[in-house]
Structure 1
Amino acid sequence: MAASKKDQISKGALVAFSRNGYSETTMDTIAETANVAKGTLYYHFKTKEELFVYVNQKGVEMLIASVTEAILDQSISITERIFHVLDEHLRFFADNRELCMLLLSISGDSQRDRLIGTLLTDYFQMMESFFTELQQQGRLQADLEVRTVVSSLFGMVGMTVLRKMFREEPVYTDETRHTLLILCARALGINIDKGVEHHE
C-alpha cells in the first residue's frame, strides 16, 4: 500500500514539475495533481526538494537501465549496439515525455539545474565507459574526446526530442531515427548498413 501511494505521488509530482517548473510547483499542487491528501504527501516526502530528487533519480535510473540493456546486447554487432544505444535514447524520451522535460530543460534555477547535473552523473559515467572501451578497441577515432562525444550525442537526441515536443510533433518516427543514425554515423566515422537502421 505504501509503495503504491509513493508511486502515485511520484507520478503526480512528475506531471506537476514538468508543467509548472520547480519554482512554481508547491506541495499543495503536487498533492492535488497526485490526488492524495496533504498528510499522505508529507508522510512520504518532507519537502518539495526531497520529492524532486526522488522523481528525477527514479527517472535517471530508468534511463540507465534502458541504455545499459542496449549496451550489453551481445546478440548484435558492436556497430549495431552503438546505434541501438542511440535509438534507445530516442525511444526512452518519446515514451517519458514529462521526465524528458525535467531532465533536458534548463530552468534558470541554478540550484535545480545543478541538482539535475549531479543526478545524471551515473548516466554519463556509464556512457563514457562504453565509448572509452570502443576507443580502446579501435572502433572510435583516437583523437575524439569521449566526454564531448557523449555530451554531444545526449544533446543531439535531447534537443531533437524537446523541439518536437514543443511543436507537438511525433517524436519516435522512422524519419527522425534515420536522420539521427546517419548524423551519428558520420560524426563517429562509422559505416552504417541498412540492417542497423531497422533494428528493433
Structure 2
Amino acid sequence: MMKVMFLRKSKTNLIFQAAIDVFSEKGFDKATMDDIAARANVAKGTIYYHFKSKEELFLFLVEEGVEMLREGVESKLTEDLTPREKIELILREQISFFGQYRDFCVILLRESWGAEDRQLEFRKMIRSYMALIEKVVQEGKDAGVFHDVSAENAGSALFGMAAIAALHILLGKGDYDEDKLFSDLKQIALSGLLK
C-alpha cells in the first residue's frame, strides 16, 4: 500500500514539475495537457486522474506554491524578533523564494491575472500569506514603531513590491542579485525614498 501511495506522490510530483515548466515557457493559454504529459513522461490520462482540467492543475500549482512561501516565512518568524526585523525577514524570504523558484514566480505573477475566476481563486490563496504580513504590520502599529497605516494596504504593498520587482528581473533575464534587491526594498519599505 505504501508503494502505491509513493508512486502516486511521485507521479504527482512529476506532473507538478512538468506543469511548472510548461506553464512558465508557454503561458497558461498556449500550454496543453498533452504538453504537460509529454514533459512528465506520463500518459495524459494519468494527469486527468489527478486533475480534472488544466485550470484545476494551474490552481493546484498556485496553491501549493503560495503555501510553501507562507510556511517558509511563518516558520522563521519568532516572537523575539521586533516588528521591523519581521518585515525584513518577510522581504528577504520572499525574494529568496522567488529566486529559488523562478519558474513558479513567473507563473504566479504573470498568469494569475488571467480569467476572472482565476483571479478570484488567486486572491483567496494569497490571502493567508497577506494575513501574515498584515499581522506583523499591526504588531508594529500597536507597538508604536510603524506609522498608523492600513495593515491590509501595507501587506499588499509589501507583497506586491517584492513580487513585481522580482518578476521584472526574472522576465528581463537579468542577474537576480537577492542581496541588492533586498537592500533596495528594505530601504524603500522601512525608510522611504526621501533622504
Per the normalisation by structure 2, the TM-score is 0.86
1:68-119 Cα offsets, whole Å, 9 max, x none, are 1232263x44432221111111101111111111221254432323322221
Structure 1 alignment gaps of length 5 or more: 189-200
Does residue 95 of the first structure (1) align with residue 105 of the second (2)?
no
Contact 2:86 2:136 in 1 (8 A): no
Write the deviation string for residues 25-69 of structure 1: whole angstroms up to 9, x where unpaired. 221111112221112222222221221121111101001012212
1:110 to 88, 95, 116: 116
Equivalent in 58, 65, 80 of residue 59 of structure 1? 65
Match of 1:174 in 2: 179
SS at match of 2:63: helix
- Matching residue of 1:22: 28
User: Does the 8 A contact of 2:66 with 2:129 survive in 1?
Assistant: yes
- Residue 43 (1) aligns with residue 42 (2): no
Q: Percent identity?
A: 32
Give the equivalent residue in structure 2 for 1:80: 85
Gaps of 5+ in 2: 1-6
> Does residue 1:133 correspond to 2:139, yes or no?
yes
Report the equivalent of 2:4.
none
Residue deviations 1:175-195, cap 9 Å, x none? 22211111112149xxxxxxx
What one-letter code is carried by the residue in structure 2 that aligns with 1:167?
G
1:11–1:73 Cα change, 3 Å: farther
Which residue does the alignment assign to 1:11?
17
Name the aligned partner's letter for residue 146 of structure 1.
A
Whether the 8 Å CA contact 1:71–1:82 is kept in 2: the answer is: no
Residues of 1 paired with 2:188 and 2:146: CA distance? 15
Q: For the Cα contact (< 8 Å) 1:91–1:172, is it kept in 2?
A: no
Aligned to 1:122: 128
Q: CA RMSD in A?
A: 2.1
**Aligned mates of 1:135, 1:103 — CA distance in 2:** 30
Aligned positions, number: 187
Instruction: Verify the 8 A CA contact 2:99 2:178 in the aligned structure 1.
Output: no
Distance 1:147 1:138 in 2: 17
Q: 1:152-186: CA deviations, max 9, x gaps? A: 11111111111111211122333222111111121
Single out whichever of 107-116 and 20-29 deviates more from structure 2. Answer: 107-116
Asked if the contact 1:71–1:130 (Cα under 8 Å) also holds between the matched residues in 2, the reply is no
Give the whole-Å Cα distance in 2 for the aligned partners of 1:117 and 1:123.
10
Q: Distance in 1 between matches of 2:52 and 2:87?
A: 41
With the length of structure 1 as denominator, give the TM-score of the two structures: 0.84
